[in-house]
Chain A
Protein backbone atom coordinates (compact mmCIF):
# COMPACT_ATOMS: atom_id res chain seq x y z
CA UNK A 1 0.00 0.00 0.00
CA UNK A 2 2.21 2.80 -1.14
CA UNK A 3 -0.09 5.75 -0.75
CA UNK A 4 -2.06 5.24 2.41
CA UNK A 5 -3.07 8.67 3.59
CA UNK A 6 -1.83 8.24 7.13
CA UNK A 7 0.46 10.45 9.05
CA UNK A 8 3.51 8.86 10.51
CA UNK A 9 2.01 9.20 13.98
CA UNK A 10 -1.13 7.37 13.21
CA UNK A 11 0.61 4.54 11.47
CA UNK A 12 2.31 3.44 14.65
CA UNK A 13 3.56 -0.05 14.90
CA UNK A 14 0.77 -1.56 16.95
CA UNK A 15 -2.01 -0.33 14.68
CA UNK A 16 -2.95 -2.24 11.59
CA UNK A 17 -1.87 -0.51 8.36
CA UNK A 18 -4.16 2.37 7.46
CA UNK A 19 -6.55 1.76 4.66
CA UNK A 20 -7.79 4.68 2.62
CA UNK A 21 -11.38 4.05 3.48
CA UNK A 22 -11.46 4.42 7.19
CA UNK A 23 -8.71 6.76 8.29
CA UNK A 24 -8.69 10.50 8.21
CA UNK A 25 -6.59 11.87 5.36
CA UNK A 26 -3.23 13.21 6.37
CA UNK A 27 -3.97 16.75 5.38
CA UNK A 28 -6.78 18.63 3.74
CA UNK A 29 -5.52 18.39 0.21
CA UNK A 30 -4.02 14.93 -0.13
CA UNK A 31 -3.44 13.50 -3.55
CA UNK A 32 -6.77 11.71 -3.42
CA UNK A 33 -8.66 14.92 -2.65
CA UNK A 34 -6.99 16.71 -5.51
CA UNK A 35 -7.90 13.95 -7.94
CA UNK A 36 -11.48 13.75 -6.69
CA UNK A 37 -11.73 17.51 -6.87
CA UNK A 38 -10.38 17.45 -10.38
CA UNK A 39 -12.92 14.83 -11.31
CA UNK A 40 -15.82 16.86 -9.98
CA UNK A 41 -14.41 19.97 -11.58
CA UNK A 42 -14.34 18.21 -14.95
CA UNK A 43 -17.86 16.90 -14.58
CA UNK A 44 -19.27 20.24 -13.47
CA UNK A 45 -17.49 22.32 -16.10
CA UNK A 46 -18.60 19.81 -18.68
CA UNK A 47 -22.21 20.13 -17.59
CA UNK A 48 -21.95 23.89 -17.35
CA UNK A 49 -20.40 24.17 -20.79
CA UNK A 50 -23.01 21.96 -22.39
CA UNK A 51 -25.69 23.98 -20.61
CA UNK A 52 -24.26 27.18 -22.01
CA UNK A 53 -23.92 25.52 -25.41
CA UNK A 54 -27.57 24.52 -25.28
CA UNK A 55 -28.64 28.06 -24.41
CA UNK A 56 -26.65 29.33 -27.38
CA UNK A 57 -28.15 26.61 -29.57
CA UNK A 58 -31.60 28.00 -28.87
CA UNK A 59 -30.74 31.40 -30.39
CA UNK A 60 -30.33 31.14 -34.18
CA UNK A 61 -27.92 33.51 -35.87
CA UNK A 62 -30.43 34.29 -38.58
CA UNK A 63 -34.14 34.74 -38.01
CA UNK A 64 -36.55 34.41 -40.88
CA UNK A 65 -38.99 37.08 -39.89
CA UNK A 66 -40.98 39.44 -42.09
CA UNK A 67 -39.11 42.42 -43.46
CA UNK A 68 -39.11 45.49 -41.26
CA UNK A 69 -39.62 48.15 -43.90
CA UNK A 70 -42.70 48.72 -46.00
CA UNK A 71 -43.90 51.35 -48.40
CA UNK A 72 -47.02 53.12 -47.17
CA UNK A 73 -48.13 55.02 -50.26
CA UNK A 74 -48.00 58.75 -50.89
CA UNK A 75 -48.42 61.42 -48.22
CA UNK A 76 -51.49 62.91 -49.87
CA UNK A 77 -53.35 59.64 -49.38
CA UNK A 78 -53.60 60.45 -45.70
CA UNK A 79 -56.07 63.06 -44.51
CA UNK A 80 -54.93 65.57 -41.96
CA UNK A 81 -56.02 64.88 -38.41
CA UNK A 82 -56.98 61.25 -38.99
CA UNK A 83 -55.57 58.11 -37.42
CA UNK A 84 -55.18 55.79 -40.37
CA UNK A 85 -55.62 52.08 -39.69
CA UNK A 86 -55.12 50.70 -43.20
CA UNK A 87 -51.79 49.07 -42.34
CA UNK A 88 -52.93 47.51 -39.08
CA UNK A 89 -53.70 44.14 -40.56
CA UNK A 90 -50.48 43.68 -42.49
CA UNK A 91 -47.96 45.83 -40.68
CA UNK A 92 -49.33 46.48 -37.20
CA UNK A 93 -48.85 50.20 -37.34
CA UNK A 94 -50.91 53.36 -37.57
CA UNK A 95 -50.02 56.29 -39.77
CA UNK A 96 -51.12 59.61 -38.34
CA UNK A 97 -51.08 62.77 -40.36
CA UNK A 98 -50.95 66.06 -38.56
CA UNK A 99 -50.91 69.56 -40.08
CA UNK A 100 -47.12 69.63 -39.85
CA UNK A 101 -46.21 66.08 -40.72
CA UNK A 102 -46.67 62.33 -40.44
CA UNK A 103 -45.62 59.77 -37.85
CA UNK A 104 -45.96 56.01 -37.67
CA UNK A 105 -47.15 54.59 -34.37
CA UNK A 106 -46.48 50.99 -33.37
CA UNK A 107 -49.68 49.04 -32.72
CA UNK A 108 -48.03 46.89 -30.08
CA UNK A 109 -49.15 47.68 -26.56
CA UNK A 110 -46.18 48.49 -24.36
CA UNK A 111 -47.71 46.46 -21.57
CA UNK A 112 -47.75 42.92 -22.90
CA UNK A 113 -47.91 43.25 -26.65
CA UNK A 114 -51.59 43.06 -27.59
CA UNK A 115 -52.85 45.18 -30.47
CA UNK A 116 -54.87 48.15 -29.21
CA UNK A 117 -57.87 49.43 -31.14
CA UNK A 118 -58.41 53.00 -32.25
CA UNK A 119 -61.65 54.37 -30.83
CA UNK A 120 -62.26 57.51 -32.85
CA UNK A 121 -65.30 58.58 -30.81
CA UNK A 122 -63.23 58.69 -27.64
CA UNK A 123 -60.12 59.84 -29.48
CA UNK A 124 -57.91 57.19 -27.92
CA UNK A 125 -56.24 53.84 -28.43
CA UNK A 126 -57.60 51.20 -26.09
CA UNK A 127 -55.91 47.89 -25.42
CA UNK A 128 -58.31 44.95 -25.16
CA UNK A 129 -56.04 42.86 -22.99
CA UNK A 130 -55.75 44.80 -19.75
CA UNK A 131 -57.33 48.08 -20.58
CA UNK A 132 -54.42 50.44 -21.23
CA UNK A 133 -55.40 53.69 -22.94
CA UNK A 134 -53.20 55.92 -25.11
CA UNK A 135 -53.76 59.40 -26.53
CA UNK A 136 -53.56 59.81 -30.28
CA UNK A 137 -49.92 60.86 -30.04
CA UNK A 138 -49.20 57.53 -28.36
CA UNK A 139 -48.76 58.71 -24.79
CA UNK A 140 -50.22 56.32 -22.23
CA UNK A 141 -52.64 57.77 -19.72
CA UNK A 142 -54.61 54.91 -18.21
CA UNK A 143 -54.26 51.24 -17.40
CA UNK A 144 -51.14 49.22 -16.76
CA UNK A 145 -49.03 50.18 -19.79
CA UNK A 146 -45.73 51.47 -18.44
CA UNK A 147 -44.88 53.84 -21.28
CA UNK A 148 -46.06 55.40 -24.52
CA UNK A 149 -46.49 53.49 -27.77
CA UNK A 150 -43.35 53.42 -29.85
CA UNK A 151 -42.89 55.35 -33.07
CA UNK A 152 -41.14 53.97 -36.12
CA UNK A 153 -38.60 55.52 -38.40
CA UNK A 154 -40.39 57.16 -41.31
CA UNK A 155 -38.99 58.78 -44.47
CA UNK A 156 -39.73 59.40 -48.13
CA UNK A 157 -38.39 57.05 -50.78
CA UNK A 158 -36.99 58.33 -54.07
CA UNK A 159 -40.33 57.71 -55.76
CA UNK A 160 -42.08 59.97 -53.25
CA UNK A 161 -43.69 57.19 -51.26
CA UNK A 162 -43.60 56.97 -47.50
CA UNK A 163 -41.33 54.28 -46.11
CA UNK A 164 -41.77 52.97 -42.58
CA UNK A 165 -38.86 51.13 -40.99
CA UNK A 166 -40.15 49.10 -38.07
CA UNK A 167 -36.64 48.00 -37.21
CA UNK A 168 -35.90 51.41 -35.76
CA UNK A 169 -38.06 52.38 -32.83
CA UNK A 170 -38.27 55.68 -31.03
CA UNK A 171 -39.24 55.62 -27.38
CA UNK A 172 -40.83 58.71 -25.93
CA UNK A 173 -39.45 58.17 -22.44
CA UNK A 174 -35.91 58.08 -23.80
CA UNK A 175 -36.36 61.27 -25.75
CA UNK A 176 -36.69 59.34 -29.01
CA UNK A 177 -39.60 61.38 -30.27
CA UNK A 178 -37.35 64.40 -30.65
CA UNK A 179 -35.43 62.49 -33.28
CA UNK A 180 -36.31 63.95 -36.71
CA UNK A 181 -36.24 60.45 -38.22
CA UNK A 182 -39.44 59.64 -36.35
CA UNK A 183 -41.44 62.48 -37.86
CA UNK A 184 -41.87 63.14 -41.56
CA UNK A 185 -42.36 66.83 -42.23
CA UNK A 186 -44.59 67.43 -45.22
Chain B
Protein backbone atom coordinates (compact mmCIF):
# COMPACT_ATOMS: atom_id res chain seq x y z
CA UNK B 1 0.00 0.00 0.00
CA UNK B 2 1.51 3.28 -0.99
CA UNK B 3 0.59 6.68 0.28
CA UNK B 4 -2.00 8.85 -1.35
CA UNK B 5 -1.14 10.04 -4.82
CA UNK B 6 -2.41 13.49 -5.29
CA UNK B 7 -2.34 13.21 -9.06
CA UNK B 8 -3.64 10.18 -10.95
CA UNK B 9 -1.36 8.43 -13.44
CA UNK B 10 -2.53 9.39 -16.86
CA UNK B 11 -0.07 7.78 -19.28
CA UNK B 12 -1.41 4.28 -19.57
CA UNK B 13 -4.59 3.82 -21.52
CA UNK B 14 -5.09 0.09 -21.29
CA UNK B 15 -8.26 -1.99 -21.23
CA UNK B 16 -9.19 -1.27 -17.62
CA UNK B 17 -8.90 2.42 -18.25
CA UNK B 18 -10.97 2.01 -21.32
CA UNK B 19 -13.74 0.36 -19.34
CA UNK B 20 -13.48 2.84 -16.52
CA UNK B 21 -13.90 5.68 -19.02
CA UNK B 22 -16.89 4.14 -20.77
CA UNK B 23 -20.31 5.72 -20.55
CA UNK B 24 -21.88 2.71 -18.84
CA UNK B 25 -19.21 2.51 -16.15
CA UNK B 26 -19.26 6.21 -15.50
CA UNK B 27 -23.03 6.22 -15.25
CA UNK B 28 -22.76 3.71 -12.39
CA UNK B 29 -19.60 4.82 -10.60
CA UNK B 30 -19.32 8.54 -10.87
CA UNK B 31 -15.79 8.69 -9.58
CA UNK B 32 -12.35 7.35 -10.34
CA UNK B 33 -10.50 4.68 -8.42
CA UNK B 34 -6.99 6.02 -8.20
CA UNK B 35 -5.99 6.32 -4.59
CA UNK B 36 -6.57 9.98 -3.90
CA UNK B 37 -7.99 11.69 -0.82
CA UNK B 38 -10.94 12.75 -2.88
CA UNK B 39 -11.68 9.28 -4.23
CA UNK B 40 -11.43 7.72 -0.80
CA UNK B 41 -14.24 9.95 0.28
CA UNK B 42 -16.24 9.52 -2.90
CA UNK B 43 -16.01 5.76 -2.72
CA UNK B 44 -17.85 5.88 0.58
CA UNK B 45 -20.35 8.59 -0.20
CA UNK B 46 -21.22 8.35 -3.87
CA UNK B 47 -22.85 4.93 -3.89
CA UNK B 48 -25.88 3.74 -1.98
CA UNK B 49 -24.38 0.71 -0.24
CA UNK B 50 -21.32 2.32 1.26
CA UNK B 51 -22.90 5.64 2.15
CA UNK B 52 -24.38 3.90 5.16
CA UNK B 53 -20.86 3.57 6.52
CA UNK B 54 -18.76 6.37 7.97
CA UNK B 55 -16.21 8.00 5.69
CA UNK B 56 -13.53 8.01 8.34
CA UNK B 57 -13.20 5.75 11.36
CA UNK B 58 -11.07 5.68 14.49
CA UNK B 59 -7.70 4.04 13.96
CA UNK B 60 -8.06 2.03 17.16
CA UNK B 61 -11.54 0.90 16.14
CA UNK B 62 -10.37 -1.08 13.13
CA UNK B 63 -7.84 -3.09 15.12
CA UNK B 64 -8.91 -6.71 15.43
CA UNK B 65 -6.94 -6.81 18.65
CA UNK B 66 -9.50 -4.41 20.06
CA UNK B 67 -12.86 -5.58 18.65
CA UNK B 68 -11.93 -9.17 17.83
CA UNK B 69 -14.14 -8.53 14.81
CA UNK B 70 -16.79 -10.40 16.72
CA UNK B 71 -19.72 -8.05 16.09
CA UNK B 72 -18.98 -7.89 12.38
CA UNK B 73 -18.64 -11.66 12.17
CA UNK B 74 -21.91 -12.10 14.02
CA UNK B 75 -23.53 -9.97 11.36
CA UNK B 76 -21.82 -11.95 8.60
CA UNK B 77 -23.14 -15.19 10.07
CA UNK B 78 -26.60 -13.66 10.27
CA UNK B 79 -26.47 -12.68 6.60
CA UNK B 80 -25.27 -16.16 5.61
CA UNK B 81 -28.05 -17.76 7.64
CA UNK B 82 -30.63 -15.47 6.03
CA UNK B 83 -29.48 -16.24 2.49
CA UNK B 84 -29.12 -20.00 2.94
CA UNK B 85 -32.40 -20.03 4.86
CA UNK B 86 -34.26 -18.40 1.98
CA UNK B 87 -32.75 -20.95 -0.38
CA UNK B 88 -33.87 -23.84 1.85
CA UNK B 89 -37.39 -22.45 1.85
CA UNK B 90 -37.70 -23.45 -1.81
CA UNK B 91 -37.93 -27.08 -0.71
CA UNK B 92 -39.07 -27.13 2.87
CA UNK B 93 -42.74 -27.60 3.78
CA UNK B 94 -43.68 -26.88 7.41
CA UNK B 95 -46.10 -29.81 7.78
CA UNK B 96 -45.35 -32.90 9.90
CA UNK B 97 -46.02 -35.24 6.97
CA UNK B 98 -43.42 -33.53 4.80
CA UNK B 99 -40.95 -31.68 7.00
CA UNK B 100 -38.78 -34.66 7.86
CA UNK B 101 -39.06 -36.09 4.38
CA UNK B 102 -37.92 -32.78 2.93
CA UNK B 103 -34.80 -32.97 5.08
CA UNK B 104 -34.01 -36.36 3.55
CA UNK B 105 -34.87 -35.03 0.11
CA UNK B 106 -32.46 -32.13 0.62
CA UNK B 107 -29.80 -34.53 1.72
CA UNK B 108 -30.06 -37.20 -0.94
CA UNK B 109 -31.73 -35.75 -4.00
CA UNK B 110 -30.98 -32.07 -4.19
CA UNK B 111 -27.60 -30.99 -5.52
CA UNK B 112 -25.85 -29.01 -2.78
CA UNK B 113 -28.94 -29.47 -0.61
CA UNK B 114 -27.03 -30.91 2.30
CA UNK B 115 -24.27 -28.35 1.90
CA UNK B 116 -26.77 -25.51 2.15
CA UNK B 117 -28.48 -27.11 5.10
CA UNK B 118 -25.12 -27.53 6.82
CA UNK B 119 -24.19 -23.97 6.06
CA UNK B 120 -27.47 -22.74 7.48
CA UNK B 121 -27.08 -24.80 10.62
CA UNK B 122 -23.41 -24.04 11.24
CA UNK B 123 -23.69 -20.35 10.53
CA UNK B 124 -26.49 -20.25 13.11
CA UNK B 125 -24.30 -22.01 15.66
CA UNK B 126 -21.39 -19.72 14.83
CA UNK B 127 -23.68 -16.74 15.27
CA UNK B 128 -24.57 -17.85 18.78
CA UNK B 129 -20.91 -18.36 19.68
CA UNK B 130 -19.86 -15.07 18.15
CA UNK B 131 -22.62 -13.03 19.73
CA UNK B 132 -21.47 -14.31 23.12
CA UNK B 133 -17.85 -13.51 22.28
CA UNK B 134 -18.90 -10.08 21.08
CA UNK B 135 -20.77 -9.39 24.30
CA UNK B 136 -17.75 -10.52 26.28
CA UNK B 137 -15.48 -8.16 24.36
CA UNK B 138 -17.90 -5.24 24.75
CA UNK B 139 -17.99 -5.89 28.48
CA UNK B 140 -14.22 -6.27 28.78
CA UNK B 141 -13.62 -2.96 27.07
CA UNK B 142 -16.33 -1.29 29.13
CA UNK B 143 -17.94 -0.12 25.91
CA UNK B 144 -21.40 -0.12 27.44
CA UNK B 145 -20.52 2.93 29.46
CA UNK B 146 -21.67 6.42 28.65
CA UNK B 147 -22.73 7.26 25.96
CA UNK B 148 -23.30 3.71 24.69
CA UNK B 149 -25.69 2.48 27.38
CA UNK B 150 -28.64 2.14 25.05
CA UNK B 151 -26.71 0.29 22.38
CA UNK B 152 -25.83 -2.31 24.98
CA UNK B 153 -29.54 -2.68 25.74
CA UNK B 154 -30.25 -3.17 22.04
CA UNK B 155 -27.42 -5.69 22.02
CA UNK B 156 -29.05 -7.68 24.82
CA UNK B 157 -32.26 -7.74 22.76
CA UNK B 158 -30.23 -9.03 19.81
CA UNK B 159 -28.70 -11.73 21.97
CA UNK B 160 -32.18 -12.85 23.02
CA UNK B 161 -33.37 -12.77 19.42
CA UNK B 162 -30.37 -14.81 18.28
CA UNK B 163 -31.23 -17.50 20.82
CA UNK B 164 -34.91 -17.43 19.87
CA UNK B 165 -34.06 -17.74 16.18
CA UNK B 166 -31.95 -20.79 16.94
CA UNK B 167 -34.61 -22.31 19.15
CA UNK B 168 -37.45 -21.90 16.64
CA UNK B 169 -35.27 -23.24 13.85
CA UNK B 170 -34.41 -26.29 15.88
CA UNK B 171 -37.96 -27.68 15.56
CA UNK B 172 -38.20 -27.47 11.79
CA UNK B 173 -36.45 -30.76 10.81
CA UNK B 174 -39.16 -32.52 12.84
CA UNK B 175 -36.85 -35.20 14.14
CA UNK B 176 -36.42 -36.57 17.63
CA UNK B 177 -33.90 -33.91 18.66
CA UNK B 178 -36.30 -31.22 17.55
CA UNK B 179 -39.38 -32.66 19.12
CA UNK B 180 -37.91 -33.16 22.57
CA UNK B 181 -35.96 -29.95 22.76
CA UNK B 182 -39.16 -28.10 21.99
CA UNK B 183 -41.28 -30.22 24.30
CA UNK B 184 -39.00 -29.45 27.21
CA UNK B 185 -38.55 -25.82 26.19
CA UNK B 186 -42.21 -25.03 25.83
CA UNK B 187 -43.17 -26.94 28.94
CA UNK B 188 -41.31 -24.30 30.87
CA UNK B 189 -43.90 -21.87 29.57
CA UNK B 190 -46.51 -24.17 31.10
CA UNK B 191 -44.92 -23.54 34.48
CA UNK B 192 -44.74 -19.75 34.19
CA UNK B 193 -46.43 -17.92 37.06
CA UNK B 194 -49.96 -16.71 36.21
CA UNK B 195 -49.91 -17.46 32.48
CA UNK B 196 -48.97 -21.15 32.53
CA UNK B 197 -51.59 -23.66 33.60
CA UNK B 198 -49.18 -25.49 35.90
CA UNK B 199 -47.36 -22.45 37.16
CA UNK B 200 -47.71 -20.75 40.53
CA UNK B 201 -50.81 -18.60 40.99
CA UNK B 202 -52.57 -19.95 37.89
CA UNK B 203 -55.29 -21.22 40.21
CA UNK B 204 -56.31 -17.61 40.80
CA UNK B 205 -57.00 -17.09 37.08
CA UNK B 206 -59.88 -19.43 36.26
CA UNK B 207 -59.65 -18.97 32.48
CA UNK B 208 -56.11 -20.41 32.32
CA UNK B 209 -56.29 -24.03 31.17
CA UNK B 210 -54.10 -26.47 29.21
CA UNK B 211 -55.66 -25.22 25.99
CA UNK B 212 -55.51 -21.54 26.97
CA UNK B 213 -52.16 -20.58 28.44
CA UNK B 214 -48.67 -19.43 27.50
CA UNK B 215 -47.74 -22.88 26.27
CA UNK B 216 -50.68 -23.45 23.97
CA UNK B 217 -50.06 -19.94 22.64
CA UNK B 218 -46.69 -21.19 21.42
CA UNK B 219 -47.87 -24.65 20.43
CA UNK B 220 -51.18 -23.85 18.78
CA UNK B 221 -52.70 -26.72 20.74
CA UNK B 222 -51.97 -28.81 23.77
CA UNK B 223 -49.29 -30.96 22.12
CA UNK B 224 -46.21 -30.35 20.01
CA UNK B 225 -48.03 -30.96 16.74
CA UNK B 226 -48.77 -29.53 13.29
CA UNK B 227 -49.85 -26.19 14.70
CA UNK B 228 -46.56 -25.89 16.55
CA UNK B 229 -44.51 -26.60 13.46
CA UNK B 230 -46.34 -23.93 11.49
CA UNK B 231 -46.08 -21.38 14.27
CA UNK B 232 -42.39 -21.94 14.75
CA UNK B 233 -41.90 -21.76 10.99
CA UNK B 234 -43.59 -18.39 10.75
CA UNK B 235 -41.65 -17.09 13.73
CA UNK B 236 -38.37 -18.45 12.40
CA UNK B 237 -38.71 -17.33 8.81
CA UNK B 238 -40.64 -14.07 9.11
CA UNK B 239 -41.27 -12.55 12.50
CA UNK B 240 -37.91 -12.98 14.21
CA UNK B 241 -35.75 -12.12 11.16
CA UNK B 242 -37.73 -8.94 10.56
CA UNK B 243 -37.35 -7.83 14.16
CA UNK B 244 -33.68 -8.85 14.26
CA UNK B 245 -32.84 -7.07 11.02
CA UNK B 246 -34.54 -3.94 12.27
CA UNK B 247 -32.64 -4.00 15.56
CA UNK B 248 -29.32 -4.78 13.85
CA UNK B 249 -29.72 -1.61 11.82
CA UNK B 250 -30.63 0.37 14.91
CA UNK B 251 -27.53 -1.14 16.55
CA UNK B 252 -25.29 -0.03 13.68
CA UNK B 253 -26.88 3.40 13.49
CA UNK B 254 -26.28 3.87 17.18
CA UNK B 255 -22.60 2.95 16.88
CA UNK B 256 -22.15 5.93 14.58
CA UNK B 257 -24.35 8.24 16.59
CA UNK B 258 -22.56 7.30 19.81
CA UNK B 259 -19.28 8.46 18.33
CA UNK B 260 -17.99 5.35 16.60
CA UNK B 261 -16.27 2.41 18.22
CA UNK B 262 -15.31 3.18 21.79
CA UNK B 263 -11.67 3.94 22.37
CA UNK B 264 -9.14 4.62 25.05
CA UNK B 265 -8.19 8.16 24.17
CA UNK B 266 -11.56 9.72 24.61
CA UNK B 267 -11.94 7.87 27.85
CA UNK B 268 -8.64 9.16 29.19
CA UNK B 269 -9.73 12.59 28.14
CA UNK B 270 -12.94 12.30 30.11
CA UNK B 271 -11.25 10.97 33.20
CA UNK B 272 -8.64 13.67 33.43
- Can you name the residue of chain B whose Cβ is closest to the Cβ of A66? B223
- Contact A114-B183, Cβ < 8 Å, known A59-B211, A63-B222: yes
Q: Is B221 in contact with chain A by the CB < 8 A criterion?
A: yes
* Min CB gap B167→A, angstroms: 15
- Contact A112-B187, Cβ < 8 Å, known A58-B217, A59-B212: yes
Q: Is A55 in contact with chain B by the CB < 8 A criterion?
A: yes
Residues of A close to B187: CB separation below 8 A: 111-113
B217 touches A55 (CB 8 A): yes
Q: Is A65 in contact with chain B by the CB < 8 A criterion?
A: yes
Residues of A close to B190: CB separation below 8 A: 113
24 A–B contacts, CB within 8 A, in A order: A55-B217, A58-B217, A58-B220, A59-B211, A59-B216, A59-B217, A60-B220, A60-B221, A60-B227, A63-B211, A63-B221, A63-B222, A65-B222, A65-B223, A65-B225, A112-B183, A112-B187, A112-B188, A113-B184, A113-B187, A114-B180, A114-B183, A114-B184, A129-B180
B220 touches A113 (CB 8 A): no
- Can you name the residue of chain B whose Cβ is closest to the Cβ of A56? B212
- Contact A113-B183, Cβ < 8 Å, known A59-B211, A59-B212, A59-B216: yes
**Residues of A at under 8 Å CB distance from B?**
55, 58-60, 63-65, 111-114, 129
* Min CB gap B226→A, angstroms: 8
* Min CB gap A167→B, angstroms: 10
Residues of B close to A55: CB separation below 8 A: 217
Residues of B close to A59: CB separation below 8 A: 211-212, 216-217
A138 to B128, CA, bound (A): 40
**Most chain-B CB neighbours within 10 Å: which of A64, A111, A112?**
A112
A113 to B196, CA, bound (A): 14
**Residues of B at under 8 Å CB distance from A?**
180, 183-184, 187-188, 190, 211-212, 216-217, 220-223, 225-227
Residues of A close to B217: CB separation below 8 A: 55, 58-59
Residues of A close to B220: CB separation below 8 A: 58, 60
A58 to B213, CA, bound (A): 11
Count A-B contacts at CB 8 Å. Answer: 33
- Can you name the residue of chain A whose Cβ is closest to the Cβ of B224? A113
- Can you name the residue of chain B whose Cβ is closest to the Cβ of A130? B184
A111 to B227, CA, bound (A): 23
* Min CB gap B209→A, angstroms: 10
A184 to B74, CA, bound (A): 59
**Most chain-B CB neighbours within 10 Å: which of A58, A60, A113?**
A113
Residues of A close to B183: CB separation below 8 A: 112-114
- Can you name the residue of chain A whose Cβ is closest to the Cβ of B185? A112
A65 to B210, CA, bound (A): 13
**Most chain-B CB neighbours within 10 Å: which of A58, A111, A114?**
A58
A111 to B217, CA, bound (A): 20
A112 to B222, CA, bound (A): 13
- Can you name the residue of chain B whose Cβ is closest to the Cβ of A60? B220
A65 to B190, CA, bound (A): 18
Residues of B close to A65: CB separation below 8 A: 221-223, 225
Residues of A close to B211: CB separation below 8 A: 59, 63
Residues of B close to A129: CB separation below 8 A: 180, 184
A68 to B35, CA, bound (A): 75
Residues of A close to B180: CB separation below 8 A: 114, 129
Residues of A close to B227: CB separation below 8 A: 60, 63
A-B contacts besides A59-B212, A65-B223, A113-B184, 18 pairs, CB < 8 Å: A55-B217, A58-B217, A59-B211, A59-B216, A60-B220, A60-B221, A60-B227, A63-B211, A63-B222, A64-B226, A65-B221, A112-B183, A112-B188, A113-B183, A113-B187, A114-B180, A114-B183, A129-B180
